[in-house]
Amino acid sequence: MDLLLLADTHLPRRARDLPDEVWGAVAAADVVVHAGDWVDVALLDELEQRSARLVGVHGNNDGPPLRDRLPEVARVDLDGLRMAVVHETGASTGRERRCDALYGPASPDPGDVLVFGHSHVPWDTTTPSGLRLLNPGSPTDRRRQPRCTYMTARVEAGALAEVRVHELPLRVPTRPPR
């Protein structure tokens, strides 16, 4: 099962649309996961239409139309892989401990993988209990990162495999003719 992981798209504030490369990844994915900060419900509508399966949550920049349709936390089983999705996990310091308590093996609803967003910083770590933490960054707003990013992964026999961060090309600003 092929996964596409997205977060912090901020459309149309940070970009008019997702990059063509990301739309190609949407078409190739069995499951698209979006960890919040969509900003406009139009992207949710389009991803629902163009994705084979969509799992999403709302973020802190998402207003009532998105909050009415998306949960704060989503939990899914993907061929035996237990995945949770949330927008915010707090500061990077202490993240593994906090996430273990909320989503790890000892939590009330344990998971194998937690996908999160908010920071726009790609993140791939494993907590001491074995919970995998993934943040795909942002495909439209790199903030302090060198490039905009997204992630792909594969689920094989109930386990996560082939996690990859994709860096998008820098957009060269165009100047109006003089």
pLDDT digits 0-9 by tens, 26-41? 999 999 999 999 999 9
User: Per-residue pLDDT averaged across 150-175, rounded?
Assistant: 87
Question: Which domain, by its residues, includes 54?
Answer: 2-167
Report pLDDT digits (tens) over 62-117: 999 999 999 999 999 999 999 999 999 999 999 999 999 999 999 999 999 999 99
115 falls within a domain: yes
Which CATH number is 74's domain given? 3.60.21.10
In a domain, 176, yes or no: no
Please report, as a single letter, which amino acid is at residue 132.
Answer: R
Confidence of residue 14 (pLDDT cuts 50, 70, 90): confident
When divided into structural domains, the chain yields a total of: 1
The SS3 of residue 97 is helix
Cβ burial, residue 39 (10 Å; 0-12/13-18/19+): buried
CA distance 76 to 57: 12
Average pLDDT over residues 22-29: 98
47 is a domain residue: yes
Which burial class, exposed, middle or buried, applies to 94 when counting CB atoms under 10 A from its CB (0-12, 13-18, 19+)? exposed
pLDDT greater at residue 106 or residue 2: 2
Q: What is the DSSP letter of 69?
A: H
